[in-house]
Structure 1
Amino acid sequence: MKIYNITPMGKPRMSQRDKWKKRPVVVRYFAYKDQCRLQGVALPTHGYHITFVLPMPKSWSKKKRMNMLGQPHLNKPDKDNLEKALLDAIFEEDSVVWDGRVTKLWGEEGQIIVGEC
């Protein structure tokens, strides 16, 4: 199991216009991809279990933060968009990936935890 201290983000919906008019979400997405590459995030192509730990909002009370720590993340971004963004960051052609599992949880800090199935 490998832990990367990167705050996960889902892949945004993009259009041709994003090539010249860089929306803030697109700029953050490309920075996320660069960060994944710089930290050497790697996935096995034969089966993986990725756990995305999404940071809790700072506005939550200490009591709510304690209750939600490690609990399933049931809000957006969707797990498939998180996985899509990570696969796009790691692989030139992600069609080589044929098996994988994704979990998303609440945490204090953003993390990507990669393990094998």
Structure 2
Amino acid sequence: MLKLTIPVEPMGAVRMTSRGKPNAQRYLAYKDQIKWIVKQQLKDRKLLMGALEVEISFMMPIPKSWSNVKRQQMVGEYHTKKPDTDNLVKGVFDSLNKLVWQDDNKVAKVTAVKSYGEVPGMEIVIKELK
């Protein structure tokens, strides 16, 4: 089992048809930041080769415009706004290619949860399936 903690605000994948656009540049920087953090946590670990199960918890930022009472009430509650969960997963999986696994086609089972958190970030648990 491998557990990764990534203290980066989750960002959904964007269309890469125009790499020069600000959103595309921000997304590429986001993936690079994830890669750098994961490299620090892996310390020369070998790539996982078999079928994999991945559990990702996305802690989404709480809007600053909300009152303190509402902010406290929403911690841990499901996040049902953009970005879509599948786009969040895509960004993480693309970042982990050739670091944790050769390619994300090794992932046979995925569980992803998006909820509000006091501190934005991601927790990823990766298990080899038998």
Q: What TM-score, normalized by structure 1, do the two folds share?
A: 0.85
Flag as ranges the 4+ runs of structure 1 deviating above 3 A. Answer: 41-45
Amino acid of the structure 2 residue aligned with 1:33: K
Structure 1 position 116, deviation (Å): 4.3
Q: Secondary structure at the match of 2:65?
A: coil
* Structure 2 residue ranges without an equivalent (≥5): none
Q: Does 1:88 align with 2:88?
A: no
1:14 matched to which residue of 2? 16
Q: Secondary structure at the match of 2:56?
A: strand
Pair 1:87–1:116, CA change in 2 (3 A): closer
Q: 1:99 aligns with which of 85, 98, 109?
A: 109
* Structure 1 residue ranges without an equivalent (≥5): none
1:5 matched to which residue of 2? 7
Q: What TM-score, normalized by structure 2, do the two folds share?
A: 0.78
Q: How far apart are the structure 1 equivalents of 2:123 and 2:25?
A: 24
Please list the CA deviations of residues 4-56 of structure 1 after superposition, one character each: whole Å capped at 9, or x if unmatched.
Answer: 211110001231xx13xx22211110111001110016796511210010111
Q: Percent identity?
A: 35
Q: Secondary structure at the match of 1:85?
A: helix
Q: CA RMSD in A?
A: 2.0
Q: How far apart are the structure 2 equivalents of 1:3 and 1:88?
A: 16
Q: Does 1:113 align with 2:123?
A: yes
Q: 1:29 aligns with which of 27, 30, 50?
A: 27
Give the count of matched residue pairs. Answer: 113
